[in-house]
A and B are shown apart, each in its own frame.
Chain A
Amino acid sequence: DAGVIQSPRHEVTEMGQEVTLRCKPISGHDYLFWYRQTMMRGLELLIYFNNNVPIDDSGMPEDRFSAKMPNASFSTLKIQPSEPRDSAVYFCASSLGTGEAFFGQGTRLTVV
């Protein structure tokens, strides 16, 4: 397996634009997590899914953020409209019901 695949690796966008981050989890994993990492706040859990169903979205900062998992092999995190304070590295990770999480390489988002 190629591991967790995220795209794009880097994204630069203007304030107010819509941004969509994509994630393909490891085949067979039934948990998917979205994290945001910044120097100030560290690694924050935004939302996680089990069997494509959102379990906990309490970490989603605002209504501008939304996440979907239409099937077991794909998830998106959307920010609309984007703001400079959304600039961060966004990680997707997947796992089985127990054991470790496997992380993608992250998307570095810059909102100017």
Chain B
Amino acid sequence: AQTVTQSQPEMSVQEAETVTLSCTYDTSESDYYLFWYKQPPSRQMILVIRQEAYKQQNATENRFSVNFQKAAKSFSLKISDSQLGDAAMYFCAYRSRRSGNQFYFGTGTSLTVIP
């Protein structure tokens, strides 16, 4: 089975600064999706950004961008100009593009934003 590892249980960042959350994964497949989800205190799981493995260009969504290193099986999330509302638990997730596969989630990184 695929595994997703988030080695940083907790991170903190000063408001307006930049922070990078790490994620590595293990797979023998070549075609898959990677995702970052945000879970604020409201507990709603919100999709932040997604990356398709066949795309070489790193995905970007406003202040959120990823550094996708396919050979290294690394998928980090960069948050620029951090805001108080970015404080949340962040989960990295993997899904094969083969139909029928489940999602594999990391254990999460708790991000604190310091005013």
Q: Is the CB of A33 within 8 A of B43?
A: no
Q: Is the CB of B43 within 8 A of A105?
A: yes
Please pick, from A56, A98, A99, A105, the residue contacting B102 in the complex, using a CB distance under 8 A: A56
Please pick, from A45, A55, A102, A106, the residue contacting B43 in the complex, using a CB distance under 8 A: A106
- A91 CA to B50 CA in the complex, in Å? 20
A91 surroundings in chain B (CB, below 8 A):
45
With A43-B91, A105-B43 as known contacts, state yes or no: A100 contacts B35, CB within 8 Å: yes
- A108 CA to B102 CA in the complex, in Å? 23
Interface size on B, residues (CB 8 A): 19
B115 in the interface (beta carbon within 8 A): no
A28 in the interface (beta carbon within 8 A): no
Chain B: residues with CB nearer than 8 A to chain A? Answer: 33, 35, 37, 43-45, 47, 50, 91, 93, 95, 97, 99-100, 102-103, 105, 107-108
Chain A: residues with CB nearer than 8 A to chain B? Answer: 33, 42-43, 45, 48, 50, 55-56, 89, 91, 93, 97-103, 105-106, 108
